[in-house]
Structures are given as structure tokens and as C-alpha cells.
Amino acid sequence: MSILEVKNLRKSFGNTEVLKDINFTLEAGEVLSIIGSSGSGKTTLLRCLNFLETPDSGLILVQGKPLFNSEDTTAKSDAEIRRSRQHFGLVFQSFNLFPQYTALKNVTLASELQAKERPDYKTNKKYILEDIRKNGERLLTQVGLFDKRDNYPHQLSGGQQQRVAIARALSLSPDILCFDEPTSALDPELTGEVLKVIKGLADHNTTMVIVTHEMQFAREVSDKVLFMDSGYVVEYGTPEEVFDHPQHERTQQFLLRYSGNE
Amino acid sequence: MFETVLLSLSEGFVKSLEVFFLTLIGAIPLGLLISFGSMSKFKPLSFLVKVIVWIVRGSPLMLQLLIIYFGPGLIFGNNWWGSGSEGRFIAAMVAFIFNYACYFSEIFRGGIEGIPQGQYEAGEVLGMTKSQIFFKVILMQVVKRIVPPMGNEVITLIKDTSLVRVISVYELMWNGQSFIKSSGLIWPLFFTGVFYLAFNGIVTLLLGYAEKKLDYFKV
Ligand SMILES: Nc1ncnc2c1ncn2[C@@H]1O[C@H](COP(=O)(O)OP(=O)(O)OP(=O)(O)O)[C@@H](O)[C@H]1O
Ligand SMILES: [Mg+2]
């Protein structure tokens, strides 16, 4: 069974239809890169997956279980939406770290808040928090920032902040980790360290959806590539299929523009 | 004579301090409530709240004191506040708390609206509840943003406490001025200035300390 299935997803803002019938599937352990020109709806798609936007219609299935179904008109409670969200993690273009917390606390905060709902929290508090801290330190080690665990975000470079944000997004062990142009806000010399971390996650079979303008990176890291244009999935396939043998003119034009830049 | 003056001024100063602290205690929570009202998605409510805030901030506090104290008696023929100094004090506190709550609400609103949307969204995608996001993520950033403007208001409040004398609440300056009539002395009035300055100095130090304490992060 596919880990993620998106069917007939549509989303409008007012009169502008931003997503027009989006369909794709993703297998566990695969990396999907989403490419496309500005305004084509890539961010909106990620935001729909993470329940930051509500699609107008369509279906989102995770491991065959519908998390969003426009046919199902029963209103979802806040708690249900929060539970659905747990399947996804999101790394933002602008990091969005919590400035008043250290790198480690940024990573552990959500886990700590969730632990409070455990029935055994009061009795095992010390061990639970100890576990959470260890997990946070493990994740910071994984992104190469263990020695920066006590730094506040403003004491970190952009690349380091984004790596903390990745560790934070991993802290609740999401099934699918989403990235929205994770390196676009970074100085060129800092993109490498972030891409390397993402590459490392791919090597460990983390299921990921990555919106990116880094074509070379997308080609290296992806199992599937999806080209979006004005709200449609125009091209979907392996990196070889999409980059080397694009079937559609719009894809060819887009890639030509990008290879010109590189 | 000096002792008599000092005693009288100290009594007045205690009254000024009461006005100061009760205003802060009342106006901060009320101001937060009003700021939520002005940010409400329910348009009629936010409009109404904004009009009230505009009126309160746009007219003199002294006028509001007079209207709140004399209004009920003159309009409804019934002095809600009770007679004597206690009634006057209650009316003064109502006027002060409401006035300052309106000023604070604008500061709170600016502080809350200045937090980037991404902070809320980062909390949301991590499965936090709305109240967890507010108390664990947003609040501290708002506090840091509002300490300087709140500090300005608090300094103004110290000086504004002298206004309660217009409805005969005997605070520091009233007592200082009374020596002009009773003994022909002007220096007690000047001496009240020392109290204001000293108190101001202490509050300024505390505010500076608070800002420093919040220096560990940047927003
Ligand atoms: N909240 C919103 N309200 C109205 N229109 C929106 C909103 N969010 C996005 N849009 C519009 O939807 C379209 C797609 O936006 P989106 O951000 O998804 O594009 P994108 O592919 O991520 O572009 P980019 O590469 O520049 O990030 C744009 O035309 C944008 O103006
Ligand atoms: Mg985008």
C-alpha cells in the first residue's frame, strides 16, 4: 500500500483556482521532489498536506487511511486535525524556529507538550523528559548540531537554523517529511550543509516531499519528480523520465530555463 | 514643620501608590481582554471595541474622571460610587483602569499582531493546541516586544496619578499643595517632585532590568 495518495485535490483562494485536480502517490521510503515555476501552487499543495489549508475537494490518504475526504462532511474536531497532522512534518522556507528557546528546546518542546497528555506522565515524569531530551540530542547530532544545542536561534547561521528546524520536524517521527524550498532563504554558501542533511535522511529511507528549485539536488536525491504548472501536475515520473525525457512542452521549457541558470 | 510635611506627603504618596498599583493590576488583564475584542473576527465586536478605545484614548483622562464620578449622579440621579472618600476612590480607580486598559490593549494588539504567522504555523504543524501555541510560543515574544512601550505608559501613569485630585482623592500632590493655603509654604509642593522622581527612578531601573532579562533572545 502506498504511504501517501492524493486524489483529485483542488484548492481555490477566492476566484483563483490554485490547485486543479492534483493526483499522485508516494511509496514508503521514497523521496518526491516537486518542481515548477513561481505561483504554480507548490506551497499550497504542501500546506494542504499539513492541514494549514483546507482543500476544496479531493482525498488525502496515508497508508490507505483517509485523513482528508471532501465527501465526508462531518466536521473534524481540533483534536482530530491535530492527530492527522502528526503523519506529516513540515520544514518551512523561513525556518520559523521559536526564538525564545534553545536549539534543543526547539526540538523537544512539542514532544514535551504531548507527553503531558500521557496517563503515566505524573509518575514517570523524570524518565519521560529524560527520554525526550535524549531523543532531541540524537536528532541534533543527526543534523550535526549537537554542540550548538544550548544556542538560541539568533546565535545560529541560517543553515544551522534550518538544520535545527529539520531536527524539530523529525521530533514527532512523522511518516512523511515535507520541505518547502528549504534552501531558498539561505546564502548560496550555506545551502550545501542543509542539502547534505536532507540527502542523509534520504539515505536512511525517510519518506519525503521536497519542493525545490535545486534541480541538480532533485535529480540526485529523488525517486520521483513531479512538475507542476499553474495548478496541474504536468509531468510525474522518475528523475530520468522527467529531467532527461520530459514528455510535455511546458516541462521542457521550464527545464531549459533552469539549465540556463545553472 | 518638616516632619509634618513629610508625614503628610508620605500619606499622599501611599494613596498615589494605591492608584498606581491598582491601575496596573486591573488594566493589564482588562487590556488583554480588550485587545482580544479588537482583534475579534466578529466584525461588529471588533468595530465596537475599536470605537470605545478610540474615544477613551482620544479624550483627556481628567474628563473621563469627572464624567465617571459625576455622571451617574447627574444623569441617573443616583451616585453609584457611594459617598465620601471611598466612593471617590472607587470612581477614580474605575476611570483609571478603563483608561489605561484601552492604552494597554493597543500595545498588546500591536505586540500580538507583530508576531509572524509562521510562528503559529510552526506550532500547528507540530500538533500543538491553540492555547499551547499562545502560552508556549507567542506570549513570551509578545512580552519582549511590549516591555518598552509598556514602560513608557507606566512612567506616564506615575505622573497621571496626580489627576485623581480633581475628584478630591487626596494623593501626593494634593497634600503638597495644601500647605500653600494652610501655611503659605511653597516648598512642600516642590518636594512632591522628589517623590515622583524617586519613584520614577526605581520604576525605570526595574524596566531596564526586565529588558535586560529578556535580552537572551531576539524577535
Ligand atoms: N492565502 C492566499 N490567498 C490568496 N491567494 C493565495 C494564497 N496563497 C497563495 N495564493 C496564490 O496561489 C498561487 C500559488 O501560490 P503558491 O505559494 O502555492 O505557489 P508556489 O508554487 O509555492 O510559488 P513559489 O515558487 O513562488 O513559492 C499564487 O498565485 C498565489 O498568489
Ligand atoms: Mg512556494
Which three-class secondary structure string do you get for chain A? CCCEEEEEEEEEECCEEEEEEEEEEECCCCEEEEEECCCCCHHHHHHHHCCCCCCCEEEEEECCEEEEECCCCCCCCHHHHHHHHCCEEEECCCCCCCCCCCHHHHHHHHHHHHHCCCCCHHHHHHHHHHHHHHHHHHHHHHCCCHHHCCCCHHHCCHHHHHHHHHHHHHCCCCCEEEEECCCCCCCHHHHHHHHHHHHHHHHCCCCEEEECCCHHHHHHHCCEEEEEECCEEEEEECHHHHHHCCCCHHHHHHHHHHHHHC
The pLDDT score that the predictor gives to residue B80 is 85
> What is chain A's Cα-based Rg?
19
The pLDDT score that the predictor gives to residue A46 is 96
Confidence of residue A106 (pLDDT cuts 50, 70, 90): very high
Q: Is A110 on the interface with B (CB under 8 A)?
A: yes
Distance from chain centroid for Cα A23:
17
Task: Out of A50, A99, A101, name the one closest to residue B125 (CB).
Answer: A50
CA of B114 to the centre of ligand 2 (A): 22
Nearest-CA distance B151 → chain A (Å): 21
Neighbours of A123 (CB within 10 A): 10
Are A82 and B125 inside 8 Å of each other by CB?
no
Comparing alpha-carbon positions, the chain B residue that sits nearest to A153 is: B217
Does residue A174 surpass a pLDDT of 90? yes
Phi, psi (deg, nearest 5) at residue A230: 35, 55
Q: Is A191 on the interface with B (CB under 8 A)?
A: no
Q: What is the spatial order of strands in the sheet that A57-62 belongs to?
A: A16-26, A4-13, A57-62, A65-69
Confidence of residue A244 (pLDDT cuts 50, 70, 90): very high
CA separation, residue B41 to residues A56, A177, B31 (Å): 22, 33, 18
Three-state SS for B109? helix
- Grid cell of B130 as nine digits: 491553540
**Whole-number Å distance between alpha carbons of B52 and B31:** 12
Q: Which residues, listed in sequence order, are joined to residue A124 by a DSSP beta bridge? A: none
The pLDDT score that the predictor gives to residue A83 is 87
**Least confident span in A106-120, A127-141, B63-77:** B63-77
Are A113 and B136 inside 8 Å of each other by CB?
yes
Nearest ligand to residue A14 Cα: 1
CA separation, residue A243 to residues A33, A168, B193 (Å): 12, 32, 78
The pLDDT score that the predictor gives to residue A220 is 94
Please tell me which residue, A83 or A153, carries the higher pLDDT value. A153
Q: Which burial class, exposed, middle or buried, applies to B215 when counting CB atoms under 10 A from its CB (0-12, 13-18, 19+)?
A: exposed
Does residue B158 surpass a pLDDT of 60? yes
**Residue by residue, what is the 3-state secondary structure of B28-81?**
HHHHHHHHHHHCCCCHHHHHHHHHHHHHHHHCCHHHHHHHHHHHHHHHHCCCCC
**Percentage of residues of chain A with pLDDT beyond 90:** 87
Amino acid at B203: V
**Percentage of residues of chain B with pLDDT beyond 70:** 100
Nearest-CA distance B54 → chain A (Å): 33
pLDDT in tens, B86-134: 889 999 999 999 999 999 999 999 999 999 999 999 999 999 999 999 9
Confidence of residue A212 (pLDDT cuts 50, 70, 90): very high
Q: Which of A77-86, B12-21, B179-188 has the largest mean confidence?
A: B12-21
CA dihedral A226, A228, A234, A236 (to 10 degrees): 0
The pLDDT score that the predictor gives to residue B89 is 92
The pLDDT score that the predictor gives to residue A43 is 96
8 Å CB contact between B155 and B200 = yes
The pLDDT score that the predictor gives to residue B84 is 86
Helix and strand totals (H; E) in chain B: 9, 0
The pLDDT score that the predictor gives to residue A71 is 84
Confidence of residue A84 (pLDDT cuts 50, 70, 90): confident
Confidence of residue A260 (pLDDT cuts 50, 70, 90): low
Atom number of ligand 1 nearest to Cα A184: 27
- Mean per-residue pLDDT of chain A: 94
B2-213 has which fold? Answer: MetI-like fold (1.10.3720)
Does residue A117 surpass a pLDDT of 60? yes
Mean pLDDT over residues A4-9, rounded? Answer: 95
Mutate to test the pocket of ligand 1, among A12, A18, A33 (most ligand atoms within 8 A of CB): A18
Which residue ranges make up each domain of chain B?
A: 2-213
Mean pLDDT over residues A122-132, rounded? Answer: 94
Please tell me which residue, A74 or B166, carries the higher pLDDT value. B166
**Least confident span in A26-30, A48-52, A177-181, A257-261:** A257-261
**Least confident span in A73-77, A149-153, B14-18, B19-23:** A73-77
Nearest-CA distance B146 → chain A (Å): 15
CA of A44 to the centre of ligand 2 (A): 7
Confidence of residue A242 (pLDDT cuts 50, 70, 90): very high
Confidence of residue A261 (pLDDT cuts 50, 70, 90): low
Confidence of residue B51 (pLDDT cuts 50, 70, 90): very high
Three-state SS for B27? helix
**Whole-number Å distance between alpha carbons of A162 and B164:** 54
Does residue A262 surpass a pLDDT of 80? no
Three-state SS for B83? coil
